[in-house]
Structure 1
Amino acid sequence: MLSGALMLSVGGLTAVPAAADDGPIVTTRYGKVQGKAGEAANSYLGIPYAAPPVGERRWRPPSPPARWSGVRDATEPGNPCMQHPSDTPWGDLTGPGTPSEDCLYLNVYTPARRSLRKRPVMVWIHGGGFTVGSGAFYGGGTLAAKGDVVVVTLNYRLGAFGYFAHPDLTKESPHGTSGNYGLLDQQAALRWVRQNIAAFGGDPGNVTIFGESAGGGSVCHNLISPLSTGLFHRAIAQSGCGFPLPARADQERSGAAWAESLGCADVACLRGKSAEEVLNASTAPNVRWVPNVDGKVLPRQVTEALDRGLFHRVPVLQGTTADEGRLTVASTYDLAGRQLTAEGYPVAVRAVYGDRTDEILARYPLSDYGTPAEALGAVFTDSQFSCSQSQTARLAAKHTRSYQYEFADRNAMDYLNLPISFPIGAPHGSEIRYVFGDVSGTPAQKALSDRMLKYWTNFARTGVPYALGAPRWERFPKVQILAPDAIAPSTTFPQDHKCDLWLGSAS
């Protein structure tokens, strides 16, 4: 694919290179795209859903893309958004291509077989801590073919490019806000879906947003954002809903201090910096590149909005993995060349939880776990994921259909053969390939993946997670435990994860 800077403008349109002759062609409102035909699924990659956010468009809401003449080659993904390489057990989440500010592209996957009916649409929002990742890292062909749905994956601005807030930006904004550009990108992609997805056989009246980690958080941010009204009809948040966000004023203060560290007293100076300069400076300490509660894009915290019913009343499915925190422990210790000892366990707890350490150690004694790493992993799992997601599921259940799960394949990452001294279990992110249908493990793991894919896609189809031949999934407060040996509801999830310690009476 050619970047926007290399394309030629012809009569207000953009001329693009001719596509290959043997792929399916779809006409969007911006021009024709030619994708790649597959045996089970077709793919249309690197479609622009917004204008490149470069130059004066840096740190501004996304604008519609330019129209083009001819047929656009849609066989390769667009550039990933600006980011540093990411070192994870799954590889570099950047995905294919070279990071660029010109990155607002999406990918569409459709079943190869024709259908007389419009199919449900599932829009994937990738994770990566709001600083890394790309839509093209996740192939949607298997999910589309097996689930008989249209799958969309997308890029959105990351790090300083997506979440920088500054008083100057707030002043120039017609809405009097700044810093949530990555979220605005997601909403622009959803508007593109509403306008164009019917041409790909998708139903614009039945759109599900789903995502994991920062993507799961983004799902819940869209769930409460007034600007996403009417853009989706179901929501699936995997390991990310309900994390507290900073206020806009706090983000503006830290943003102004960060700008001064680059020698810039105003945003005009920052817009004059190269993308590489901004990226390299974005790793400064004491700066969090996350969305902010600005009163407009995000009027309030997710938990408050869910509690008060101030969100889009769509069915919500959300959940976590059984051992979320073990990946953090593995990355901090074993994968960094050291092991957590019994003596280091209380030190590690105190470094994060301070004055609550004694209370936490009493509830998570080493004698209850095989290794200190597993003990610390349990603390992180319960405090940072399981209980907060249980809380948001409970709050949503007051106002809409709410479903919760726990993914519990304790051998989900055995295929990676990680060099660690303790069982990694079912850590953060390990459920994603099960949902996307990309499991090549044991027959039991493949069967679990098939059922999860059907639960997810039938939820997208009807608002109820079901799968033929699989156990019934009941609404919250039941929690569906998803494991290879058995799928069954649990009524003791809050107790199992000691949520009284982390949520108090709210558990």
Structure 2
Amino acid sequence: MSWARHIGVWAGTLLLLATGAWSTPAVAADGPTVTTRYGQVRGAAGESAHSYLGIPYAAPPVGSLRWRPPVPPARWSGVRDATTPGDPCMQTASGSPWGDLAGPGTPSEDCLYLNVHTPARPAPLKRPVMVWIHGGGFTVGSGAFYDGSTLAADGDVVVVTLNYRLGAFGYLAHPGLAGESAEGISGNYGLLDQQAALRWVRDNAAAFGGDPGNVTIFGESAGGGSVCQNLVSPRTAGLFDRAIAQSGCGFTLPTQESQERGGTAWAQSLGCADAACLRALPADRLLTAAQSPTARWTPNVDGAVLPRQVTDALESGRFHRVPVLQGTTADEGRLSVATTYDLAGRPLTAAGYPPAVRALYGERADAILARYPLSDYGTPAEALGAILTDSPFACPQSRTAGLAARYVRSYQYEFADRQAMDHLGLPVSFPIGAPHGSEIRYVFGGVEGTPAQNALADSMLGYWTNFAKTGVPYAAGAPRWPLFPQVQTLAPEAITPGTTFPERHKCDLWDQSAS
């Protein structure tokens, strides 16, 4: 498993351990009933929030619909039970020793479901809607893994979490599939699923007390990348009003052409030369083959769904002009180091540090090692963790925040609770700090820590939900959050703005490689 895949796996595992996100509220026989455009659903009543789980937002993408854009679901008669999540999308077990990111249910191709969480108390006005796009490296995860009840109740918002097709099922690009498309495109089926879910929200949010004219998309890791991809996709015009990208904006995507070359080779390994052959294969065989170490399952720049790279679109102003909040954690890369080395039984040594950097960065390694000498860090793991924080996360996200700031209100943060994951007792030889994914439970309201950590979580939930309400992040009793280039540091010790973020993360080095 690559270090990038490790990041998606462990981020969700940390949230599972921290929040117990698989739990659902007790079900009453006479649970709340809502009428959607496709039929009635009966949810589960909670003391502070109601939950409506497993609502189909598109038809099952099976049979002839495998590797095709999503189509609306069939209508149903009677009242549909909405107390159990729909099955997660096809994926393998995460490989984590503590849990599987798929969440409840059995991975299936029939997986295009979403979940709605609403405050239990009535409101005189429609509430803002926050639509969560989960992470997991585009290969694992589910919407139901994240319980939005606390966020909905404490933030007075409607929270929607969703599934989207993953891995080969969501991102296979192939000339045969492009030949079926009037636009000649293939490979972005998972992204198209997210967009179908946003159309469902536009059409049905009001029935749940949500305001379809005030929708915020937010997500972390691959979900944060998805937020920025939707931000620049012409297909999402009018579907959302704010965007929050957590640890994911700025990743460079492959072209459709390069993805189709890889997809063709992958299909040939299965004995298939065309789409019909691939659709005839059982899903389990495709899933097994999708674990090939050479396969790259990710969105692609196809000229239509994604006309250009996210950074190019932001730089030229060709994106939806909505307020954007984005940021990273202070120690993103330490999670990858932990999983690649310590938790694999081979802690990184001083002698192993230069070869590790050379394996990742090739001819640029000497220049990088000069900027990240071991003498500056407590352990080799912390040194490599700093590189894997700054290169793929901190500096790309800082760059996208700056590009967006030319056109819209742009806010950037750094989550810096260095004890955020101490309660897990991870068996590693170095401080895990504030790693990738450690901010999620602070946003969703699952923190039971020190008084300072609890106060930080309260402030962050307030910042996120008030940004969803107004386009400005603020929270009761918390410091003001200034616009970019100020970066808001979110730490239990203090919440403070500053302008040293690019220098601290050596972005001059990494911005050179991006240009």
* Bucket of the pairwise TM-score, normalised by the shorter protein: over 0.9
Whole-angstrom CA distance in 2 between matches of 1:249 and 1:353: 24
**Gap runs ≥5 in structure 2:** 1-26
Whole-angstrom CA distance in 2 between matches of 1:373 and 1:328: 10
One-letter amino acid of the counterpart of residue 259, structure 1: A
Deviation at 1:87, TM superposition (A): 3.1
Query: Which residue of 105, 108, 115 maps to 1:97?
Result: 105
TM-score, normalised to structure 1, is 0.95
Deviation at 1:505, TM superposition (A): 9.7
Instruction: List per-residue Cα deviations over 1:210-258 (Å, max 9, x = no partner).
Output: 0000000000000000001110000000000010001001111110110
Matched ranges for 1:407-422 at <5 A: 407-422=415-430
One-letter amino acid of the counterpart of residue 483, structure 1: A
Deviation at 1:490, TM superposition (A): 1.3
Whole-angstrom CA distance in 1 between matches of 2:53 and 2:96: 24
Matched, 1:45 2:53: yes
Matched, 1:440 2:448: yes
Deviation at 1:354, TM superposition (A): 1.1
Is the 2:28–2:44 contact (alpha carbons within 8 Å) kept by the matching residues of 1?
no
TM-score, normalised to structure 2, is 0.94
Is the 1:120–1:150 contact (alpha carbons within 8 Å) kept by the matching residues of 2?
yes
Q: What corresponds to 1:14 in structure 2?
A: none
Query: Which residue of 259, 263, 269 maps to 2:267?
Result: 259
Whole-angstrom CA distance in 2 between matches of 1:401 and 1:506: 24
2:328 aligned counterpart, secondary structure: strand
Is the 2:118–2:208 contact (alpha carbons within 8 Å) kept by the matching residues of 1?
yes
The verdict on how the C-alpha distance between 1:505 and 1:174 changes in structure 2, with shifts beyond 3 A counting, is closer
Query: Which residue of 179, 182, 185 maps to 2:190?
Result: 182
Matched, 1:115 2:120: no
Q: What corresponds to 1:300 in structure 2?
A: 308
Deviation at 1:91, TM superposition (A): 2.8
Whole-angstrom CA distance in 1 between matches of 2:73 and 2:226: 23
One-letter amino acid of the counterpart of residue 441, structure 2: R
The verdict on how the C-alpha distance between 1:298 and 1:506 changes in structure 2, with shifts beyond 3 A counting, is closer
1:306 aligned counterpart, secondary structure: helix
Is the 1:40–1:112 contact (alpha carbons within 8 Å) kept by the matching residues of 2?
yes
One-letter amino acid of the counterpart of residue 438, structure 1: G
The verdict on how the C-alpha distance between 1:309 and 1:440 changes in structure 2, with shifts beyond 3 A counting, is same
* Count of matched residue pairs: 489
Whole-angstrom CA distance in 2 between matches of 1:352 and 1:33: 50
Deviation at 1:90, TM superposition (A): 6.6
Deviation at 1:360, TM superposition (A): 1.0
1:209 aligned counterpart, secondary structure: strand
**Gap runs ≥5 in structure 1:** 1-18
Matched ranges for 1:426-437 at <5 A: 426-437=434-445
The verdict on how the C-alpha distance between 1:505 and 1:359 changes in structure 2, with shifts beyond 3 A counting, is closer
Whole-angstrom CA distance in 2 between matches of 1:435 and 1:21: 31
Q: What corresponds to 1:196 in structure 2?
A: 204
Matched, 1:423 2:431: yes
Whole-angstrom CA distance in 2 between matches of 1:317 and 1:151: 18
Q: What corresponds to 1:130 in structure 2?
A: 138
One-letter amino acid of the counterpart of residue 123, structure 2: S
Matched ranges for 1:45-84 at <5 A: 45-84=53-92
Is the 1:106–1:155 contact (alpha carbons within 8 Å) kept by the matching residues of 2?
yes
Whole-angstrom CA distance in 1 between matches of 2:229 and 2:74: 28
Larger RCO: 1 or 2 (CA < 8 Å, sep 6+): 2
Deviation at 1:89, TM superposition (A): 7.3
Query: Which residue of 289, 292, 303 maps to 1:281?
Result: 289
Deviation at 1:176, TM superposition (A): 1.4
Whole-angstrom CA distance in 1 between matches of 2:293 and 2:328: 29
Instruction: List per-residue Cα deviations over 1:119-147 (Å, max 9, x = no partner).
Output: 00000000000000000000000000000
Is the 1:236–1:317 contact (alpha carbons within 8 Å) kept by the matching residues of 2?
yes
One-letter amino acid of the counterpart of residue 177, structure 1: I
Deviation at 1:21, TM superposition (A): 3.1
- Percent identity, please: 78
Deviation at 1:504, TM superposition (A): 2.8
Query: Which residue of 231, 234, 240 maps to 1:232?
Result: 240
Q: What corresponds to 1:377 in structure 2?
A: 385
Q: What corresponds to 1:33 in structure 2?
A: 41
- Structure 1 stretches of 4+ with a deviation exceeding 4 A read none
1:136 aligned counterpart, secondary structure: coil
Q: What corresponds to 2:14 in structure 1?
A: none
